[in-house]
């Protein structure tokens, strides 16, 4: 028996969202078909579809008057209909979903599977923080590269009003970077409290940005806004006729006042002081201190290859971009590229140390490495953790340390080698490339020494 899933959402998220869900459930029950319907209403997501639900489904019905992300449904057939049609013609829609041709099953790439599994197991504050970071990243990429492009015309060219350099700086620094902290805070709060948490989070993040609390203040504001909204949503009880006011008026207003007043009068000043002290310390790093910080960040990027420790280092570096501190981001991305690159090189130099499947996987590891997908090292580490993990940690630590010592800078938080040709995206490009090459070679040589001869 085929299983169906569905998502319903109307622009206001009130009546039609639930009417469409009910209609689809009734139509499916009448035909003896199992269906699970996720509603994205004004109070947030209810009856949320799990990865298991999606894997088992023959097709997904998206009945929406609002934009619904389809990223999680890329491996199954999708039926999209207006939400009104789901209410009026639910029987026909169920038939269409049952008869649509299923996408051919393909062996999922092991790296993609691992990333999906990690996303599923994220819980609590870590999950909420990563949600905020993922929504902030496109702003960091667009803003950083726009600023880099403005420097093509000269480092100070943007100061002349009316020029293209000034326009590019306004796009990157004046708009994209100005939104970074509010969006980070907004989507942390959204992850905690769904739609009612978004406005308080954005407001708290904007205040953090205005008072100079930076990304640390944004993180604090996001969590306060999210948990305050979730708590108020739980304790405030209204008559059914007034329930619709809660998510669009009462919760955003009360939560915004709570987070705003706390940021202005209690939390903002000390967090701003911490952020300024950290920024000044990082800007003054030289010699041994820079070497040490780079080595620590590099090792963190490799030790769990995309896990919580890796993400902590990455989030730290990305957050500093808003404060115009670019060296840690260069160290982090270079060190994150090194593990799969080092393994790929090792499979070429020491073929007798790897099985045939691993040698084949090494070819893919080149692509993953240059794309800054550290998870490309996971299949190798899983097969031989006690030899692979020390090797890649050592190589990445060296890469991060060299990058910091060379003073390499990076304005884009992702993209691997594909951002290198963009003028001014990378500062001290030669030193940056040398850092990656040295770490890659060290990783490969250590693997050659530590790994035993493979049994084919």
Report the candidate in 253, 251, 270 with the shortest Cα–Cα distance to residue 208: 270
- Give yes or no: residues 8 and 156 share one domain: no
Look at residue 216 and give its three-state secondary structure: helix
Q: Does residue 116 have a pLDDT over 80?
A: no
Q: Does residue 239 have a pLDDT over 70?
A: yes
Q: Does residue 456 have a pLDDT over 60?
A: no
Query: How far is the C-alpha of 72 from the C-alpha of 315, rounded, in Å?
Result: 23
Highest mean pLDDT among 72-81, 159-168, 235-244: 159-168
Q: Which long-range contacts (CB under 8 A, 24 or more apart) does 120-126 make?
A: 120/50, 120/51, 125/223, 126/308, 126/311
Which pLDDT band, with edges at 50, 70 and 90, does 308 fall under? confident
Strand partners, 80: 62
- Sorted by sequence, the CB contacts under 8 Å of residue 13 that are 6+ apart come out as 40, 41, 42, 43, 66, 195, 247
Which pLDDT band, with edges at 50, 70 and 90, does 131 fall under? confident
- Give yes or no: residues 138 and 237 share one domain: yes
Segment holding 90, helix H or strand E: helix 90-99
- Give yes or no: residues 266 and 314 share one domain: no
Please check whether residue 411 lies inside any domain of the structure: yes
The sign of the CA dihedral 438, 327, 189, 178 is: negative
pTM of the entire structure?
0.69
pLDDT at 111: 62
Please check whether residue 112 lies inside any domain of the structure: no
- Given 106, 140, 175, the domain boundary residue is 106
pLDDT in tens, 252-280: 999 999 999 999 999 988 998 998 888 88
Average of pLDDT values for 212-235? 92
Residue of 181 and 16 predicted with greater confidence: 181
Please check whether residue 120 lies inside any domain of the structure: no
Domain that holds residue 162: 130-274
Segment holding 348, helix H or strand E: helix 327-349
- Sorted by sequence, the CB contacts under 8 Å of residue 111 that are 6+ apart come out as 368, 373, 375, 376, 378, 379
What token pair was written down for 107? 């062996």
pLDDT at 197: 93
Q: Does residue 419 have a pLDDT over 80?
A: yes
Which pLDDT band, with edges at 50, 70 and 90, does 51 fall under? confident
Longest dimension (CA), the chain: 73
- Give yes or no: residues 89 and 184 share one domain: no
Q: Are 438 and 402 in contact (CB under 8 A)?
A: yes
Supply the mean pLDDT for the chain: 87
Please check whether residue 328 lies inside any domain of the structure: yes
Segment holding 45, helix H or strand E: strand 44-46
CATH number of the domain enclosing 65? 3.40.50.2300
- Give yes or no: residues 170 and 80 share one domain: no
Query: How far is the C-alpha of 79 from the C-alpha of 139, rounded, in Å?
Result: 31
Please check whether residue 455 lies inside any domain of the structure: no
Q: Which residue numbers are catalytic?
A: 10
- Give yes or no: residues 134 and 187 share one domain: yes
- Give yes or no: residues 52 and 196 share one domain: no
- Give yes or no: residues 293 and 442 share one domain: yes
Q: Are 391 and 446 in contact (CB under 8 A)?
A: yes
Range scoring the smallest mean pLDDT among 134-138, 294-298, 329-333:
134-138
Report the candidate in 408, 401, 406, 394 with the shortest Cα–Cα distance to residue 440: 394
User: What is the Cα 71 distance to its own chain's centre?
Assistant: 13
Residue of 453 and 218 predicted with greater confidence: 218
Please check whether residue 121 lies inside any domain of the structure: no
Number of domains in the chain: 3
pLDDT at 106: 40
- Give yes or no: residues 314 and 196 share one domain: no
Angle between helices 214-235 and 308-321 in degrees, nearest 10: 110
User: What is the Cα 449 distance to its own chain's centre?
Assistant: 36
Please check whether residue 428 lies inside any domain of the structure: yes
Average of pLDDT values for 20-35? 92
> What are the helix (H) ranges across 350-428?
356-370, 378-383, 385-406
- Give yes or no: residues 64 and 172 share one domain: no
Average of pLDDT values for 366-393? 88
Q: Are 392 and 338 in contact (CB under 8 A)?
A: yes
pLDDT at 66: 63
Q: Does residue 110 have a pLDDT over 70?
A: no
Q: Does residue 128 have a pLDDT over 80?
A: yes
Q: Does residue 204 have a pLDDT over 60?
A: yes
Q: Does residue 74 have a pLDDT over 80?
A: no
- Give yes or no: residues 209 and 269 share one domain: yes
Q: How many CB atoms lie within 10 A of CB 391?
A: 28
Please check whether residue 92 lies inside any domain of the structure: yes
- Given 274, 303, 327, the domain boundary residue is 274
């Amino acid at each position: 028996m085929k299983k169906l899933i569905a998502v319903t959402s109307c622009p206001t998220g009130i009546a039609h969202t639930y009417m469409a869900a009910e209609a689809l459930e009734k139509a499916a029950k009448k035909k003896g078909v199992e269906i699970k319907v996720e509603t994205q209403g004004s109070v947030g997501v209810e009856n949320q579809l799990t990865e298991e639900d999606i894997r088992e489904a023959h097709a997904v019905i998206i009945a929406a008057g609002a934009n619904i992300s389809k990223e999680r449904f890329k491996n199954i057939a999708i039926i999209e209909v207006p939400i009104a049609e789901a209410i009026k013609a639910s029987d026909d829609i169920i038939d269409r979903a049952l008869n649509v041709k299923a996408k051919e099953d393909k062996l999922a790439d092991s790296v993609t599977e691992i990333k999906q599994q990690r996303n599923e197991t994220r819980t609590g504050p870590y999950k909420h923080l990563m949600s905020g970071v993922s929504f902030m990243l496109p702003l960091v990429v667009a803003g950083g590269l726009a600023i880099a492009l403005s420097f093509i015309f000269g480092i100070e060219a943007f100061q002349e009003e009316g020029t293209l350099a000034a326009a590019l700086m306004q796009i990157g620094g004046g708009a994209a970077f100005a939104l970074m902290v509010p969006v980070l805070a907004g989507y942390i709060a959204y992850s905690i409290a769904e739609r009612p948490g978004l406005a308080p989070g954005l407001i708290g993040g904007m205040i953090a940005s205005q008072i100079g609390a930076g990304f640390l203040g944004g993180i604090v504001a996001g969590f306060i806004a999210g948990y305050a909204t979730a708590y108020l949503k739980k304790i405030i009880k209204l008559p059914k006729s007034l329930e619709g006011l809660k998510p669009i008026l009462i919760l955003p207003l009360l939560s915004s006042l709570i987070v705003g007043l706390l940021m202005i009068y209690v939390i903002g000043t000390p967090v701003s002081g911490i952020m300024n002290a950290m920024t000044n310390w990082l800007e003054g790093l030289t010699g041994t201190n820079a070497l040490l910080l780079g080595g620590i960040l590099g090792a963190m990027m490799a030790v769990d290859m995309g896990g919580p420790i890796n993400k902590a280092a990455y989030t730290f570096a990305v957050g500093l971009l808003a404060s115009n501190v670019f060296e840690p981001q260069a160290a982090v991305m270079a060190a994150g590229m090194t593990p799969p690159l080092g393994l790929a090189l090792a499979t070429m130099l020491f073929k007798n140390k790897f099985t045939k499947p691993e040698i084949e996987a090494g070819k893919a590891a080149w692509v993953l490495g240059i794309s800054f997908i550290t998870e490309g090292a996971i299949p190798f580490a899983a097969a031989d953790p006690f030899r692979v993990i020390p090797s890649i940690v050592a190589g990445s630590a060296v890469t991060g340390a060299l990058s910091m010592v060379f003073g390499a800078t990076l304005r884009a938080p992702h993209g691997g080698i594909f951002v290198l040709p963009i003028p001014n995206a990378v500062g001290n490009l030669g030193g940056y490339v040398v850092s990656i090459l040295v770490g890659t070679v060290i990783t490969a040589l250590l693997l050659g020494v530590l790994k035993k001869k493979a049994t084919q």
